[in-house]
Amino acid sequence: MKISVLISRFQVSGVPLAQMRLARALARRGHMVELVVGYLESEWNLAALEGLEVRLLGKPKVRGMLLLLTRYLANEKPDVVFSAEDHLNTIILLAAILSGSKAKISGSSRVTPFDTYSNTWFSKRWILKQLSRAVMWRADALTCVSKDMVDQYREVFFSPPHVCVYNIVDDAPARMRMLEPTEHPWIVRKEGPLLIAAGTLAPWKGFADLIRAVGILTVRRPARLLILGGGPLREELQGLVYALGLSDRVELLGYVSNPLKFFSKAEVFVLSSLVEGLPNVLVEAMMCGCTPVSTNCPTGPREVLKDGEYGYLVPVGDPEAMAAAIEKALDSPIPRQLLDKAVAPFGEQRVIDRHFEVLGLCEELST
């Protein structure tokens, strides 16, 4: 089949990386796959998209993609389109209506609809809600990356068609990246347990709570924390590290191209988020053998950790509880067989099979 996978803006973050994994998985199945990218961030280049057929639209705003996507559907005639994020999902559905495209379209939602839509008349989020409702009928599948998010959509829309389809996290390339060596001195010398965290250094990731939790923990026992990722709060978080006297215990490592090689060397992964869609990074860390400690934020962590069976859940914004949970995780790590069981629903074959199932294309799996 001829399949298009859409990304509104390419940057090294959750949604674009998940769409790239999807595109590559579909290509490995023998399909003709094109990655359609609205805009390429200036700090990245096409080397990051190596191995994929890529079409760049050069439009930094999703609404600017409408005419180009309408022409694209009319001229290229893909059989299936996979889109992600509600703004882009709405635009591709509108483009399909305008072009008369016969493509099957699957739109995936990645963040809570409470942050996407509004009931305040004539606000941007209210307009998006009305437009989304108007074109929803054209979708062959509307999916969410967690079951809890599906329930949220049922609160926002009357009887929506949304179902849960997870992202691909566990695939052969990821398994290979786990094995790469790293020369970080805290890993080479291994002086005590290593904690790891990763994500954009932004307010909703809750890294300040995590740093405070490590400050509490290290009074009782030695441990070190590496935080992977860059973002607008880097200076503020670095200042907190200095203020708490944790310079020899916490390091903000910045962006790393392969976080999995760090995950595979750590004992505990900590997710401190205030809100999530479904945190791929949590699943990645579990795949690498880390015992997970996570805030019980909406949505995703509770679902991934099966209410605490596969890891330790703590309240949002509670460094004391987080420190206690990290200590428990160090004393009682989750067995590898349970981590593997937790990660299994995010395997490449199961996720692709599920996508084809909800699109009514199960027969295509044998071709």
Q: pLDDT tens digits, residue range 242-301?
A: 999 999 999 999 999 899 999 999 999 999 999 998 999 999 999 999 999 999 999 899
Q: Quick one: pLDDT at residue 47?
A: 59
Q: Quick one: pLDDT at residue 12?
A: 64
Q: Quick one: pLDDT at residue 277?
A: 86
Q: Quick one: pLDDT at residue 52?
A: 81
Q: Quick one: pLDDT at residue 55?
A: 93
Q: Quick one: pLDDT at residue 17?
A: 87
Residue 151 has pLDDT above 70, yes or no: yes
What domains appear along the chain, each with residue ranges and CATH number? 2-168+347-366 (3.40.50.2000), 172-345 (3.40.50.2000)
Residue 168 has pLDDT above 50, yes or no: yes
Lowest mean pLDDT among 73-82, 272-281, 324-333: 272-281
Residue 156 has pLDDT above 70, yes or no: yes
Residue 110 has pLDDT above 80, yes or no: yes
Q: Quick one: pLDDT at residue 366?
A: 39
Residue 352 has pLDDT above 60, yes or no: yes
Q: Indicate the average pLDDT of the chain.
A: 94
Section 179-207 average pLDDT: 95
Count of Cβ atoms closer than 10 Å to residue 230 Cβ: 16
Section 340-360 average pLDDT: 96
Report pLDDT digits (tens) over 4-57: 999 998 876 778 889 999 999 999 999 999 999 999 876 566 655 667 889 999
Residue 346 has pLDDT above 80, yes or no: yes
Lowest mean pLDDT among 11-25, 27-41, 110-124, 191-205: 11-25
Q: Does the pTM of the predicted model rise above 0.95?
A: no
Section 318-337 average pLDDT: 98
Lowest mean pLDDT among 36-40, 71-75, 306-310, 324-328: 36-40
Section 349-358 average pLDDT: 96
